[in-house]
Chain A
Amino acid sequence: MIRFEHVSKSYGGTLVLDDLSFEIAPGQLAVLIGPSGCGKTTTLKTINRLIETDKGDIYVNGRSIARLNKVELRCSIGYVIQQIGLFPHMTVEQNICVVPKLLKYSKERCQKITHEMLELVKMPYEEYAHKYPNQLSGGQQQRIGVLRALAASPPIVLMDEPFGALDPMTRLVLQEEVRRLQQKLNKTIVFVTHDMDEALTMADTVIFMEKGRIVQMASPDEMLRNPASDLICSFMGKRSLNNQHLPQTVADIMRDKVVTVTKDHGVRASVELMSRKNIDTLILTNADGSYAGVVSVDRIKRSGKGYKTVEPLMNRGYPFSYEDEDGQVAFDKLIDGGVNYVVVLRRDRTVAGIVTKTSMARSMAEAVWGNGE
């Protein structure tokens, strides 16, 4: 829907956008985030050509915007900014109908649009349509700002910190509303913020910028799980630590430092290893590294006499689960099986780790309290 190809922009020698290339798919809500001055607003304004680029091309719907008529382009892209910018001399209805009027829609059609738009945010037409902006609260004003941007049904809407000046409660309500409208009307939205919470709750895709470049472009989940830089981590603050370790798969709750030996390991060496590491079970692998079974120190003591390797003593039926399975699978096996641990395997059947009651408790604690960093 929106594609940047090697877009650069500089102001008096300083590079503000540095070879940006990315693509936003139709119907997506993409959030631009990053430290102040990193070029978010500049990026946004190049899309409706409020700022012209120096190099590179921007495509909207497959067409290079440099070749489009500015008025047409802008009429087909909604624009919402932090300062709201409602026209103070126009009523709510006139404000909403600015672009329809530019497009020379008929009076009846404009009025119908106003009805529909106010309906979307549950503001009764009779009560609000003829009010002036200074008769509305800040939240109501920005609601009208959003409706004004949507009035001529543009497929794309640009929003530059639209809720930055609103109180936290209003902000939450409007975030919810915009998300709902975006999904209902199937809009492609580019949304600038420097509030990570806002980004993570609203975005389909988060684009993190720094010094005019994209540091990471990923879904909120992915960014929480694998932040690409320390700066992103610090932007996410406590929240990232929490959510990053939110135990979901078996891998999240396992301990990955485990002692494995091949199944032809000597009995005596195995006992010695276990006592040195202070453990009572060893995980055994085949020669190719795949999981074979486990052997416990008790078993060796009871019937280990006369064997050279641990293979004949090996327990092949010990509970295991795969690392990408739901954490609860391992949890159930651990609790219901009455065992001390569950072996965790990768899909290629190599050993990834083990889940013990301790490792599980620790990962839960991290999720709740953070890992103390």
Chain B
Amino acid sequence: MSGTPPVPRDDPSPTPRDEPGATGAAGAPASSDELRRLRALLLGDTRTRVDGIETRLEAMELTPEALAERLPEAIALRARQDRQLGVALAPTVESAISESVRRRPGEFADAIFPVLGPAIRKAIAETMAELVGSINRAMEHSFSVRGLQWRMESWRSGVPYAQVVLRHALVYRVEQVFLVHAETGLLLAKASPPDLAVPDADLVSGMLTAIRDFVGDSFAQDAAAGGLRTFSVGELTVMVEPGPHALLAAVVRGQPAESFRRKTQETIESVHAQFSNALTEFDGDSRPFEPVQPLLQDCLVTVLDTDARPGASVNWRPLAIGAGLVLAAVIALSALSAWRWRRVIAALDATAGLTVVSSDRGWRSGSIRGLRDPDAASPGATIAAAGGDTLHITQRWDPYLSLAPDVVIARARRALGEAAGVRYALRGDTLVASGHAALDWVSAVRARASLPNGVGATDLSAVGLDVPAELDPLVREISEARVLFDVGSAVPGAAGSASPSALARRLSELQARVRDLGGDVELGLTGRSDGSGTDAANAALSQQRADAVRALLAPRAGGATIVTRALGATQPLETADPAARARENRSVSFAVRLLLHPSVR
């Protein structure tokens, strides 16, 4: 405050006590009087002693200036040495503090409030943790009938279990706390749990005071006797804790314990201790009471009867927990076993070609009866894959014919023989093959009199025909041959050319052998020209060359089909020797393709 006594050294006057201060003139005789007495008390004595010390110091040639210079160092030095300094100062400091508290408790409380606040908040956090803990206890260990009933209720109603516990096990919960100015009934501060809003708290506060006044008036009760302390509205109990300047009202759901009454008493006492000035000076401004929040928050307790009850609970709890754990383990194991069994049966049922007719599960073993298509996957593998124990499961599978696509395809593959490059699909009852296969395999499939069960027809049109291995050299010989031409000529037989008549013999041999396998040869002739000349001329010339070779081969082809194409100089053959390039491209080259003979198509 502004009335701090002046420090003697700064005061030029030797008698500072009678200085006509502004406080005295302002017409506050009481406080200026007090100040004078205080100064006399505190400084009168000190002043003379300080003077004495000064003279002594001067005698020792140690001026206060010099002392001031060295004092901090000296204190630090001594404090490092031992605790003597602290011991010596302690009584003085203590009495100074207690004096300060006695005279201005409010200021002192204000000063230490920043320290108190966090501590209180920590306590609240611990209380919250306590509540969460007790709910968890209820959740974890409630193998009691009651716990199961709650669980059922939670399950039926969809209300979270913790909330059901709260509903049933709630002893009491403080839902609102008001700090009300006693004289005016105005609201100083309020607190409520985050999930409960307080509408019109200021009206409630006023009404509360009015009700108390009314009761006080009506029953001629003295305020000193406490007046109205408790009243109930439905499930709510309002507990009022009066103090000289303010009252604390707590709205409680359920039956508050006596310990809570003590808590409200302590709280209102703390409020008066910490806010005594603010309370006496209150003139409608509630801002000075904002720091009261932590104290009020501390009153927002929730008590459940699942909390440990001393005595009775000590003996049975560990047993119950043990039994509960065993029971839980058994339940868990049997649930696991049942789940695994269901998974095995489901896996079997989901496998094409397997149908479970009946199944029976014992404690460790089981038995399964069903139908199995011979082409279905192995039941044992399916069981093992699903986590079942084939050793302890008796199986009996009767054969049947499945029309499940996977099984039909498996059956077809078995019946038709493996062909590595062929893939199957079932469209309706038509077996559609794709990929590629050797000519002989394809024509064998085509020629089959009977198809596997479940297959009504085959479609092999998408299967590419491979050259059977034994015909490979012959095909290669034909494919690598070139009939060469002179520049601008369409007459075969340039130097180095293959002989058309030799080619014709090879072709007719190939055709004969392919025909034996149910196919036909289609020989493609590609006519080319070298790069000189116009495109049109080259195109015409290369066509003439292809036609000329066909004319030579056709009569002796043994029934093979011959087709031609003319590329001119557009897609030249690449040669290792660039010098040979033009020569090699004045040519007709050959490509062999196998087709199915119309009789097996």
State yes or no: do A and B come from one complex: no
